[in-house]
Amino acid sequence: MQVGRGVWGGGVVLLALLAAPASAVYLDGEDSVQLLGRMYSQAALRTEESSGLTFPHTPRGHVVQSRNLVEIELAQALDRRFTERPAWLGDLGYRLRFKGVYEGVWDYGPEEYSEQVEVSPPSPFDPQASAQSRTVHRARINRRILGRQYELWNAYVQGSAGPLFLRVGRQDLSWGETDGFRLLDMIEPLDNRFGFPLVEDLDDRRMPLWMVRATLALPWQSEDVTNLTLDSFFVPAQLDDQEAPIAPRGSPFAAPAPPSFFDRRVTRPGRTPGDSRGGGRLIGTLFADATVSVAHYVTWNDSSAARVRITRVDLVDGKPVARPALDFVFYQQQVTGGTFTMHVKPPIDTVVRAEAAMFWDERVFDPVRAGSGASFPLLVGEAIADRLSGGPGRAAGGFTPRDVFRWVIGFDKVFWLRALNPTNTFSFSTQLFHTHVLDHDDGIRNGITNPDTRDFVPRKQDEFTNTFLLSTLLWRGRLQPSVFASYDPRGVLAAVPGLTWLIGTHVRLTAKYALVRGNFANLGFFRDRDEVLLRAEVSL
């Protein structure tokens, strides 16, 4: 009955909101403390049967996501409270945001999720291990990791002292000019567990960091160079060592991988001062037309480096038994780059966006160097030798650092198609991404196994992705149809048609369909994950 009451209560709230005007909710008489919030329920259904090395096997039509999210936000501008403050002090305020997520697929989803169990293959070093000892109750693990999340998502205070603006606390920060995919925007980690990236909002996947952000308006301005600003941030590792979490095995959004007798280890960011994130950028406007920035910062790469590690060697009846593990190592990444944006005036009337950045010593994946394939027996031998000489029996594969250069150019154009939409323009955006690995060699691979060849998928020296986005507003803004598409010349096409329906001021219904077709490369790793996503959202 409690459930019934809750549903009716929710229905009443929904009906009340449908009829209610927007009026911002202020908690004080001066309209300075604003309460904001949203809650939504979202379900995703697979529209094709999983194949290849995807785990778990999911038939067509099965639910892979049943997320319920609530966000409550409190923001206050304090300037009006301190009317007697000195003129140089301003922009005083704070913002708090609580985020709670419940993913129900681990409780009431299809069997392959709510009762997910996997029996790992036996290790060649311990072939007698029982099936019971190799059985992993992944539903329990994933329910704990992915089932519930309650966090103070944002909590910061801010203020300006003359030209200096400071914001301190858990906050979001994004630099760059790209849409959908990131390039220079690598400051915050992305939560790789949070749904299928093609259909989730990028902002929902960002993980805010405890940081100090300082923005200094520089006095050197002229008619040609304006808005000159030094923007910087510092994330003390002692306070925040958040990495981009890897989707665990069994998650419907994890990369495909074969079952393995390897243990799985994650080496997370350190917590010493040297492990901190930080950097700066200089941003300005040229000729009142072009916005330009140059940036350098240190972050933790979202993609961990992978290698094989022998964690120990036991001597069983005098025989060495090695314990191998896949070691996912997060590491600091230096990034240097710049951006350029400009509105090319009519008749061309197009916004041009560009970014370029060098990722210094990025760890690419060379399986042989990482201790996999042919080098695995050597690694095991090294660990056994270590054990026999009195050590713990450890050995680890190596990393392959390479400088990686990335750039993107994008164009945004709004245009009229009055026969289709007489009151609103269409917005079209396209971007071309290029990644170039310096000192590339044929041994460099992606860390994903091709189900057909059972070998790691080659990574090319030059990889390209072209994205497209088309959208408009219909029916007085109630309907927003859009189509996102991505093409990879390696033979992968992804498309996400979507429709958002605004009901009244506070309720939004969203439907999206994610489709991936083509070869097993890059986005094509997820070519068996087509899904329909449905979301009902209520906002304050």
Q: Does 505 bind other proteins (CB under 8 A)?
A: yes
**Minimum CB distance to other proteins, residue 174 (Å):** 4
Query: Quick one: which of 48, 49, 73, 107 contacts other proteins (CB under 8 A)?
Result: 73
| Residue 49: Cβ-neighbour burial (10 angstroms; 0-12, 13-18, 19+) | middle
Q: Which stretch binds other proteins (CB under 8 A): 86-94, 135-143, 243-251, 375-383?
A: 86-94
Q: Using CB under 8 A, which of 67, 323, 508, 535 touches other proteins?
A: 508
What is the C-alpha separation between 62 and 44, in angstroms, rounded? 9
Closer by beta carbon to other proteins, 165 or else 297: 165
Which of the ranges 16-24, 45-53, 136-144, 319-327 carries the binding residues for other proteins, by CB under 8 A?
16-24
Pinpoint the alpha helices (H) of 258-414.
Answer: 376-388
Q: How far apart are CA 126 and CA 316, in angstroms?
A: 10
The verdict on whether omega for the bond into residue 347 sits within 30 degrees of 0, i.e. cis, is: yes
Q: Which is nearer to other proteins, 127 or 346 (CB)?
A: 346
Q: What is d(CA 239, CA 170) in angstroms, rounded to the nearest whole number?
A: 10
Give 208 or 269: the residue with its C-beta nearer to other proteins: 208
Q: Provide, rounded to whole angstroms, the least separation between the CB of residue 495 and other proteins.
A: 21
Distance (Å, whole) CA 498 – CA 311: 47
Using the minimum distance from each CB to other proteins, give the nearer residue, 96 or 368: 96
| Binding residue for other proteins, selected from 50, 154, 375, 465, defined by CB under 8 A | 154
Specify the DSSP class assigned to residue 246.
P
Q: Mask of contacts with other proteins, 211-240, x by CB under 8 A?
A: ----x-x---xxx--xx-x-x---------
Of the residues 342, 485, 499, 536, which one makes contact with other proteins according to CB under 8 A = 342
Nearer to other proteins, 296 or 343 (CB): 343
Q: Could you tell me which stretch among 123-131, 154-162, 360-368, 462-470 binds other proteins (CB under 8 A)?
A: 154-162
Q: How far is the CB of 429 from other proteins (least distance, A)?
A: 11
Residues 459-488 that bind other proteins (CB under 8 A): 473-478
Subset of residues 415 to 454 that bind other proteins, contact rule: CB under 8 A? 415-416, 423-425
What is d(CA 8, CA 16) in angstroms, rounded to the nearest whole number? 12
Q: Any contact of residue 36 with other proteins (CB under 8 A)?
A: yes
Q: Which residues contact 363 (CB under 8 A, 6 or more apart)?
A: 301, 305, 329, 331, 399, 400, 401, 402
The Cα 100–Cα 50 span in angstroms is 30
Smallest gap, in angstroms, from Cβ of residue 414 to other proteins?
Answer: 5
CA atoms within 13 A on the CB side of 258: 14
Q: Does 350 bind other proteins (CB under 8 A)?
A: yes
Residue 341 Cβ, how far from other proteins at the closest point, in Å? 4
- Which range, of 125-133, 200-208, 432-440, 452-460, touches other proteins by CB under 8 A? 200-208
| CB of 445 or CB of 506, closer to other proteins | 506
> According to CB under 8 A, which one of 346, 374, 389, 419 is a site residue for other proteins?
346
How far is 212 from 204, CA to CA, in rounded Å? 22
Residues 6+ away with beta carbon under 8 Å from 22? 505, 506
Minimum Å gap between C-beta 13 and other proteins is 15
Question: Could you say which residues in the range 90-119 bind other proteins, by CB under 8 A?
Answer: 90-91, 95
- Stretch binding other proteins (CB under 8 A), from 174-182, 330-338, 391-399, 517-525: 174-182
**By C-alpha distance, which of 328, 204, 332, 330 is closest to 255?**
328
Residue among 260 and 427 whose Cβ is closer to other proteins: 427
Q: Which one among 203, 273, 319, 389 touches other proteins, defined by CB under 8 A? A: 203
- Which CB, 402 or 506, lies closer to other proteins? 506
- Contact segment (CB under 8 A) with other proteins among 51-59, 75-83, 126-134, 457-465 equals 75-83
What tokens does 366 get? 């060379």
Q: Provide the token pair at 151.
A: 């966090």
Q: Is 130 left (phi over 0), alpha (psi -120 to 50) or beta?
A: beta
Q: Is 150 in contact with 100 (CB distance < 8 Å)? A: yes
Helices (H), 439-482: none
Bridge partners, residue 65, by sequence: 44
As a whole number of angstroms, the distance between CA 419 and CA 421 comes to 6
Question: Considering CB under 8 A, how many residues would be counted as binding other proteins?
Answer: 80
CB 249 within 8 A of CB 264: yes
Residue placing its CB nearer to other proteins in the complex, 257 or 286: 286
Please, what sign has the CA dihedral across residues 521, 376, 261, 244?
negative
Q: What are phi and psi of 518, to 5 degrees?
A: 125, -155
Confirm or reject binding of residue 288 to other proteins (CB under 8 A): yes
E strands within 301-349?
305-316, 319-329, 332-344
In the list 48, 49, 79, 107, the residue contacting other proteins (rule: CB under 8 A) is 79
